[in-house]
């Protein structure tokens, strides 16, 4: 029993409606994601702008194509989520010249790449974990979007930009609760990604804070 305003069946039915109506668009986003990610990984300095603009488009898609068109039918809070996702899209669009992804090294680079790969595999992993298509999360919905976003932010050498990381970190814990409350085991990785991003944010804030003279 949960305090959510909808049942598990209603939650999964939203994905079924989304997939029946928009699976071609979602599949297109998945292929575009692969292209811009490969470009940014090969040429971080030159191709990161394209990835930033893609992330702006992806968060906008989530806001309208998922939250507004479908999730609002079972959860009034989806209007708030849509506004937050549009804000995140705006922040990416306003920052497209200032970020260089896949520039970190070592453990941070490996963690970020692993999260990116997981986000791309997410639609297939949900089916393997027991959800039947079309009543299953696919690409272009919030949780894999947040995992993908956290993954690429982790790979920024200077650390995740704070203004771009706050909303994905918050969604990691809001959306990640589905792993526990709604039986979506693939979202345990979203919770872990949120913890990683939060740790990096706290560390960056600590070391970026001006020291007293």
Question: Residue 175: pLDDT above 80?
Answer: yes
Cβ within 8 Å of residue 179, ≥6 positions away: 185, 186, 187, 188, 190, 191
Residues 128-140 have a mean pLDDT of 94
Residues 116-127 have a mean pLDDT of 97
Residues 77-96 have a mean pLDDT of 96
Question: Residue 180: pLDDT above 70?
Answer: yes
Instruction: Give the three-class secondary structure for 212.
Output: coil
The larger pLDDT score, comparing residue 207 to residue 156, is at 156
Question: Do residues 171 and 197 make contact, with C-beta atoms less than 8 angstroms apart?
Answer: no
CA 148 to CA 59: how far, in whole Å?
A: 11
- The reported pLDDT for the residue numbered 213 is 47
Q: Please, which pLDDT band fits residue 178 given cuts at 50, 70 and 90?
A: confident
Question: Residue 2: pLDDT above 60?
Answer: no
CA 102 to CA 91: how far, in whole Å?
A: 19
Residues 39-64 have a mean pLDDT of 96
Of 76, 50, 52, 82, the residue nearest 64 (C-alpha): 82
Of 125, 165, 142, 173, the residue nearest 65 (C-alpha): 142
- The upper half-sphere exposure of residue 93, i.e. CA atoms within 13 Å in the direction of its Cβ, equals 11
- The reported pLDDT for the residue numbered 1 is 40
- The reported pLDDT for the residue numbered 4 is 86
Please report, rounded to a whole number, the percentage of residues in the chain having pLDDT higher than 90.
86
Angle (CA) 96 41 205, round 5°? 55
Q: Please, which pLDDT band fits residue 203 given cuts at 50, 70 and 90?
A: confident
- Name the strand (E) or helix (H) holding 186: none
Residue-averaged pLDDT of the chain: 93
The larger pLDDT score, comparing residue 81 to residue 178, is at 81
Residue entry with tokens 């932010």? 153
Which DSSP category does 73 fall into?
G
- The upper half-sphere exposure of residue 61, i.e. CA atoms within 13 Å in the direction of its Cβ, equals 23
Supply the pTM of this predicted model.
Answer: 0.94
Residues 171-198 have a mean pLDDT of 94
- The reported pLDDT for the residue numbered 206 is 63
DSSP string of 132-175? PTTSS--TTSHHHHHHHHHHHHHT-TT---HHHHHHHHHHHHHH
- The reported pLDDT for the residue numbered 97 is 76
Every domain of the chain and the residues it spans:
8-208
């Amino acid at each position: 029993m949960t305090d959510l305003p909808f049942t598990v069946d209603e939650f999964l039915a939203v994905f079924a409606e989304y997939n029946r109506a928009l699976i071609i668009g979602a599949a297109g986003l998945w292929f575009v994601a692969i292209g811009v990610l490969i470009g940014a990984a090969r040429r971080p300095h030159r191709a990161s702008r394209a990835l930033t603009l893609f992330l702006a488009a992806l968060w906008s898609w989530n806001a309208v194509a998922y939250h507004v068109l479908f999730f609002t039918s079972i959860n009034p809070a989806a209007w708030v989520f849509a506004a937050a996702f549009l804000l995140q899209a705006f922040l990416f669009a306003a920052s497209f010249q200032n970020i260089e992804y896949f520039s970190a090294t070592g453990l941070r680079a490996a963690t970020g790449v692993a999260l990116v790969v997981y986000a791309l595999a997410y639609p297939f992993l949900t089916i393997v974990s027991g959800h039947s298509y079309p009543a299953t999360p696919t690409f272009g919905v919030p949780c894999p979007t947040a995992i993908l976003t956290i993954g690429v932010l982790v790979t920024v050498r200077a650390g995740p930009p704070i203004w771009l990381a706050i909303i994905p970190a918050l969604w990691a814990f809001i959306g990640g609760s589905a792993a526990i409350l709604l039986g979506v085991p693939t979202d345990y990785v979203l919770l872990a990604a949120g913890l990683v991003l939060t740790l990096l944010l706290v560390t960056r804030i600590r070391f970026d804070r001006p020291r007293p003279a």
